[in-house]
Amino acid sequence: MIALENLRYRWNPEEPVVLEIDEFSIDDGERVFVEGPSGCGKTTLLNVLSGIAAVDMGLVTVRGQNLTAMAASERDAFRADNVGVIFQMFNLLPYLSMIENVALPCRFSGPRKQRATRAAVSIEAEAKRLVGRMGLSAETSRPVSRLSVGQQQRVAAARALIGAPELVVADEPTSALDGDARNAFIDLLLEECRESGATLVFVSHDTGLANQFDRGVSLPEINRAL
Amino acid sequence: MMPILRLAFASLANRRTTALLTIAAISLGVTLLLGVERIRTEAREGFANTVSGVDLIVGARGGSMQLLLYSVFRIGNATSEMSWAVYEKIASDPKVAWSIPLALGDSHKGFRVLGTSEDYFRHFRHGRKRKLKFDAGTAFSDVFDAVLGADVAAKLAYKVGDTFTITHGIGDAASAEHRDKPFRVSGILTKTGTPVDNTIHVGLDGIEAIHIDWRGGARVPGLRITADEVRSMKLKPSTVTAVLIGLKSRRAAFKMLRQLNGYAREPLTAVLPGVVLHELWRAVGTAERLLSTVTFFVVLTSLLGMAAMLLAGIEGRRREMAILRSVGAGPGHVFALLLLEAWALTLSGILCGMALLYAALAIGRPIVEALIGMHISMDLPGHSELGLIGLVLVAGLLAGTVPGLIAFRRSLVDGMTVRF
Which tens digit of pLDDT belongs to each residue from B16-53? 998 999 999 999 999 988 888 888 888 787 777 777 78
pLDDT, one tens digit per residue, over B195-232 is 899 999 999 888 888 887 777 666 777 777 777 777 77
Which residues of A fall within a CB distance of 8 Å from B416?
A: 46-47, 50, 52, 85, 87
- The beta-carbon neighbor of A93 closest among B323, B415, B416 is B323
Q: What is the ipTM of this complex?
A: 0.91
Q: Which class for B379: exposed (0-12), middle (13-18), buried (19 or more C-beta within 10 A)?
A: exposed
In whole angstroms, what is the distance from residue B60 CA to residue B269 CA? 6
Give A200's pLDDT tier (boundaries 50, 70, 90). very high
pLDDT score, position B300:
87
Does B416 contact A93 at a Cβ distance shorter than 8 Å? no
Provide the 10 A C-beta neighbour count for residue B394: 11
- The beta-carbon neighbor of B14 closest among A43, A73, A95 is A95
pLDDT score, position B102:
93
SS3 category, B95:
coil
pLDDT score, position B420:
47
Give A157's pLDDT tier (boundaries 50, 70, 90). very high
Q: Which among B233, B235, B112, B240 is positioned nearest to B169, based on CA atoms?
A: B112
pLDDT, one tens digit per residue, over B137-165 is 888 888 899 999 999 999 999 999 999 98
Inter-residue contact B167 to B179 (CB < 8 Å): no
Percent of chain A with pLDDT over 90: 27
pLDDT, one tens digit per residue, over A77-90 is 999 999 999 988 78
SS3 category, B133:
coil
Give A42's pLDDT tier (boundaries 50, 70, 90). confident
SS3 category, A138:
coil
CA distances from A167 to A134, A170, A201, B106 (A): 18, 10, 8, 98
Give B2's pLDDT tier (boundaries 50, 70, 90). low
B319 vs A: CB within 8 A: yes
CA distance A39 to chain B (A): 13
Give A205's pLDDT tier (boundaries 50, 70, 90). confident
In whole angstroms, what is the distance from residue A146 CA to residue A24 CA? 40
Radius of gyration of chain B (CA): 31
User: Chain B neighbours among A 148-187 (CB < 8 Å)?
Assistant: 159
Provide the 10 A C-beta neighbour count for residue A103: 27
pLDDT, one tens digit per residue, over A50-68 is 888 888 788 999 888 888 8
Q: Which among B59, B152, B148 is positioned nearest to B102, based on CA atoms?
A: B59
SS3 category, A11:
coil
For residue B169, is pLDDT > 60? yes
Crossing angle for the helix pair A149-161 and A123-133, nearest 10 degrees? 130
Give A220's pLDDT tier (boundaries 50, 70, 90). confident
A69 vs B: CB within 8 A: no
**Considering Cα of A15, then A21, then A25, then A31, what sign does the dihedral take?**
negative
Is the overall model pTM greater than 0.95, yes or no?
no
Which residues of A fall within a CB distance of 8 Å from B332?
A: 73
pLDDT score, position B1:
56
pLDDT score, position B171:
66
